[in-house]
Structure 1
Amino acid sequence: MEETNIICEECGASLTDMNARCPNCNSEKKIVHLHFEERIGPMYESISGKKVDLSLPSKKKIVEKFFDGHDQSADGDWVYKKQIISREKDYYFEEVKISQGKIIHFCEEPLSEHRNHGSAKFKK
């Protein structure tokens, strides 16, 4: 938000046009007061990464992936999500919490048993 207040330096009259002369005393001298205000909304942070084994074929190079932080859910709300997918340890972990800390989704199981979830449930 930005506010500007312009006052004639000679007679103190309140002015509306910074480029015009004062209508009371015909002075060009002005005092300009500027007020700036900036508001920042909530900040969302996350980190993700992957472990790669270059000796494996291209589709199997990524042996582990992780995500930790805020993510936007399908309905547009922001949630906290922690996810670990490890092929080398046969491990899958996912926990999703709303802003009040309540867990809305939790899954921890061997990756080999993690089937028909997310986008995988549409594959034939």
Structure 2
Amino acid sequence: MSDGTFCSSCRTPIAIDCDEAGVRLPCPNCGALYRTVQISIVETLHALDGTGMKVKRPRVKKPILEQFDKPSYSHSRKEYVRHVRVIDREEDKYLEMVSPYGSEEAIHHCEEPLSQHVGHGSAKSQKATADQRKVSDFTPQRIDGEGADEGASSEP
């Protein structure tokens, strides 16, 4: 049955429910004043899923193999994209691919030896962050004034 207003008693479609004064008109078929309003709502849902795995060895801190293939939202493209990453520490391989779903077009492709994949994530240089800190930022100060630099007086 399609959307619309129907007589609740005989299910006859009612085209005009009220007159100009706002008074409900009786059903032309059975004379009843009860109405049923039917409204249909249709939504479409698209589900995306992904997979991921890590292979670990006993007494080895990092996984020897990490791999995932999952949806990731691209803010620049305003859509979900397929994100594939493989990190193989035993074979020294790094692979990362980003592409739109249902397309062979590559938005991003990086395939190189893992040892040469630097400047990303945990491979970023720790030296730069250490250089940003100053030793004086970490010098402890005592509240009572004791332990100040030698030769400096705590009195004005």
The reply to whether TM is greater than 0.5 is yes
How is 1:1-124 mapped onto 2 (pairs within 5 angstroms)? 5-9=5-9, 12=12, 14=14, 24=26, 27=32, 32=36, 34-56=38-60, 60-75=61-76, 76-99=78-101, 100-117=103-120, 120-121=123-124, 124=128
Shift in Å, 1:5: 3.3
Shift in Å, 1:50: 0.9
Task: Indicate if the aligned counterparts of 1:82 and 1:94 stay in contact, CA closer than 8 A.
Answer: yes
Task: Indicate if the aligned counterparts of 1:78 and 1:98 stay in contact, CA closer than 8 A.
Answer: yes
Superposed CA offset, 1:57-110 (max 9, x none): xxx242211111322235343111221011122111111112443112111111
Shift in Å, 1:4: 6.2
SS at match of 1:36: coil
Question: Structure 1 stretches (4+) deviating beyond 6 angstroms?
Answer: none
* The structure with more radius of gyration: 2
If asked which structure has higher relative contact order (CA below 8 Å, sep 6+), I would say 1
Distance 1:12-1:94 versus aligned 2 partners, 3 A rule = closer
Query: Which structure is higher in strand share?
Result: 1
Letter matched to residue 96 of structure 1: V
**Structure 1: gaps of 5 or more residues:** 17-21
How much identity, in percent, do the aligned residues show?
26
Aligned equivalents of 1:78, 1:67: Cα separation in 2: 15
Aligned residue pairs total 113
Shift in Å, 1:122: 7.5
Aligned equivalents of 1:85, 1:119: Cα separation in 2: 13
